[in-house]
Amino acid sequence: MNMNRLASIIFLCMAAMVVSAQNAKSPNGRLSAAMADNMLVVSYKKQPVLRLADIPFQKLKFVRKVKDDYRMLEGKRLLCSNEAREYEAPIGPDARMVMRLYNDGIAFRYEYSNLQSSKAPEEHTSFIIPEGTRRWMQQWSDSYEGFFPLSTTANVKTLTGFGGSAVSDAINTHWGYPLLVEPADGVFALITEANIERRQSASSLYSKGEAFSVVPDKNDLLLTGDWHTPWRIVIIGELADIVQSTLVTDVSEPSRLEDVSWIKPGVVSWIYWANNHGSNDFNIIKKYVDMAVTLHLPYILIDAEWDEMKDGKTIEDAVAYALSNGIKPLIWYNSSIGWIHGAPGPKFRLNKPEDREKEFAWCERIGVAGVKIDFFSGDNQMNMDYCMDLLESAARHHLLVNFHGAPIPRGWQRTYPNLLSTEGVYGAEWYNNVPHFTKKAAGHNATLPFTRNIVGPMDYTPCAFSDSQHPHITSKAHELALTVLFESGLQHLADRPESFLAQPQEVQAFLGQLPTVWDETRFVSGYPGESAVLARRSGNVWYVAGINGKDEPQVLATDLSFIKKGNVQIFADDASGNWQIGNASKLPSQMDCQPRGGFVLVISPVS
């Protein structure tokens, strides 16, 4: 194997010190770290995939075994295990680097003590991604709404215009997490960060040639006492390791909530996709409530502009109508720190602590179950603290939270379990905005299970059988598959009531029984941008979803030998775009997919 195809990901930190370390390894020994050529080399199954050089310590010392089993309320699996071997090394007076080797990756952070009204210490961490290495990178934006196109170079031109609809001559140098690379054939590394806490900003990546430097966003605080960076993490292994990893939540702080019984994930009837201004119209809201009743969905989201409701109606009328029909309402707010002028409302109701408490207490009193908060402004420390303020206040009033127009998840889904979803994705909402999403959607959809959705719940707003302002050319079965393929504690269904209620009864029943909580997730087959097949278990029922990201037919492998025999319900499509719905007694070993097509298998135990 040519060394250019191997991971040569180097962390360039404070120079002038020599590294010495021995016998660092993951609990199962699959990942190991040892000195070679003045660099700390991390190997996967004895193959070098990660190189750390110029590290500012002289000796890496084993500290302890980390073993922490914990339970999630939503995500890839409910029962998780945080198991690692932890090492540390001094990096100067009152400072150290802490590094953990996991079975599926590496995590490290810098810890400081005895700070005296100091700015956050400068970080010099960089990743070196050699030219020729396959990578899927997202151009940074404050809302993390971008594509992850395959590239083999850092010399990628900057996207400009609304939704990245134009290309400039300038080379882009600013990248958002997560960043996926394939340093060797069949071996992958996904770079991100986790466990943002008070007094910290989030970070992103800036590239210069082959070097991708970690640059924390603005943090103007003067720090006193102890302080540390968030965890910088790299998930390493085969695609199954990447997809199934819980490393982001493994290193994140556990929740302090004593009572979480009120936190109920579920499927949501959502107005905005088909009716951009529908949430100011009581009659339109009623249609979506009625659809939720028919499809047995637990929630409805009343989106922006509900503070300007027409015909003498109010949001309290809408909430009362939903509750009288057994549907729990969620309502929308403008965060009022990002897009404000010309943006919809309600605005400026959450910024001051006293206003926020008053507003959330009112929500709780009238029966609102949760809030969608939109239009944040990036990764800086003030935004991070504001998000945590919102989550803590919402929890005091038993409100679920969905962040939109917001940075990607970095572990808060464990620390604040009322955070059930975050947008931070170029999702189906863009059919409302730009024509170029139509042709790119299938390949983009087949990339997200290996990139954005790895790091946390993703409010893509899937499943549209009809068209919004711009058409979709993904098949009906492809759209249905997204509801399983994309993990989100609140799964907002995009389409209009007339479209959902025109689908076959089997499809309507599927949506009414769709879980958003998964006991287990398995990677089945696929490759970023080409196809994706995942299996998710809810109780004793398996849901297997697959999509074709290409404009030509594909046969997708479905090795389901880990599932016992069961009754198989099949949702697929034919060449003319019609549903193919049926049952089988055997698990298929492969599925034929139409261009931009898909399928869902529901496998239930034999009675």
Q: What is the dihedral of CA 492, 370, 352, 196, to 10 degrees?
A: -70
d(CA 98, CA 86): 7
Token pair in block for residue 182: 């394939």
Which one is catalytic: 241, 374, 459, 573? 374
The single residue listed with the structure tokens 């020729």 is 132
CB atoms near residue 70 (< 10 Å): 16
CB neighbours (10 Å) of residue 20? 13
Q: Using alpha carbons, list the distances in angstroms from residue 305 to 274, 308, 366, 429.
A: 15, 5, 18, 17
Assign 448 to helix, strand or coil: helix
User: Which one-letter amino acid corresponds to residue 317?
Assistant: D
Peptide bond before residue 515 is cis, with ω within 30 degrees of 0? no
Q: Which residue has the tokens 């719940």?
A: 457
Q: Which residues of 533-559 are buried (b: 16+ CB within 10 A; e: fewer)?
A: bbbbbbeebbbbbbbbbbeeebebbbe
* Triad 521, 522, 527: Cα angle to 5°: 120
Residue 254 CA: distances (Å) to CA of 80, 91, 195, 415: 12, 28, 10, 5
Give the total residue count for the chain: 607
> Residue 95 and residue 112: Cα distance in Å, rounded?
4
- Main-chain dihedrals φ then ψ at residue 5, nearest 5 degrees: -90, -5
Whether 479 is a known active-site residue: answer: no
Bridge partners (DSSP) listed for residue 71? 79
Which SS3 state, helix, strand or coil, does residue 127 take?
strand
How many other C-beta atoms lie within 10 A of the C-beta of residue 520? 15
Cα angle 323, 324, 330 (rounded to 5 degrees) comes to: 15
Whole-number Å distance between alpha carbons of 292 and 321: 12
131 an active-site residue? no
d(CA 592, CA 317): 48
Separation of alpha carbons 501 and 508, rounded Å: 7
The catalytic position among 74, 241, 303, 429 is 429
Distance (Å, rounded) from C-alpha 591 to C-alpha 554? 8
d(CA 203, CA 201): 7
Of the candidates 185, 408, 370, 386, which has an alpha carbon nearest to the alpha carbon of residue 262? 370
Please give the backbone phi and psi of residue 576, each rounded to the nearest 5 degrees, phi first: -90, 0
- Judge contact between 63 and 120, C-beta under 8 A: no
Tokens of residue 228, six digits = 């540390």
Looking only at Cα atoms, what is the longest distance across the chain? Answer: 75
The answer to whether 391 touches 372, Cβ cutoff 8 Å, is no
Active site residues: 374, 429
